[in-house]
Structure 1
Amino acid sequence: MTADDSYDRLDDDYPAYTMGRAAEMIGTTPSFLRAIGEARLITPLRSEGGHRRYSRYQLRIAARARELVDQGTPIEAACRIIVLEDQLEEAQRINAEYRRAATRQSDQDATD
């Protein structure tokens, strides 16, 4: 197993990255990560020593926030946009499940 293999096996929610490494990975600063934490977009876990630790999932969210801010969106607005995008995606997923269930029920009724 290579190092890349073990990276891929990390759980998306596992807080594996320090603040410095997380900031480096998404091309931003630790202060940006603190700011989106203060805006409650992400809440990093803390190590026993009190250091922030970020998951891959949180880094994807932070990278999206950085994209919006880089385009000129204020950080608070960027955080709100991301929350709304996430809610929309979840609603669309639920609607698709309902549609599939309705189709299955309709198909079953037709064969009965």
Structure 2
Amino acid sequence: AIGEARLITPLRSEGGHRRYSRYQLRIAARARELVDQGTPIEAACRIIILEDQLEEAQRINAEYRHAAESANPTTEA
């Protein structure tokens, strides 16, 4: 169902076998967790996408904050 929802798309080996990254396996496990709790697969996929976007935004924000602090160090008395 996760593949049909196009949440993750596996790479293919030369022999045609599906190959998943650790990140994709983590997403699949999170989707399974949400579905097992009764969340419809479409909603679970949307939740996972939003969680991923939030994590990325927080990472970028932390980088900007670190860069700003490095550019303008405060002096302590």
- Settle same-fold status: TM greater than 0.5: yes
* 1:89-100 correspondence runs (5 A): 89-100=55-66
Q: Which amino acid aligns with 1:65?
A: A
Unaligned 5+ residue runs, structure 1? Answer: 1-34
Instruction: Work out which of the residue numbers 53, 60, 65 in structure 1 matches 2:31.
Output: 65
Instruction: Work out which of the residue numbers 29, 43, 46 in structure 1 matches 2:12.
Output: 46
TM-score relative to the length of structure 1: 0.61
Q: Percent identity?
A: 88
* 1:15-94 correspondence runs (5 A): 35-94=1-60
Higher helix share: 1
How far, CA to CA, are the matches of 1:99 and 1:48 in structure 2? Answer: 44
* 1:7-22 correspondence runs (5 A): none
How far, CA to CA, are the matches of 1:102 and 1:55 in structure 2? Answer: 34
**RMSD in angstroms over aligned alpha carbons?**
1.5
Structure 1 residue ranges (4+ consecutive) displaced by more than 6 angstroms after TM superposition:
none
SS of the residue corresponding to residue 19 of structure 2 reads: strand
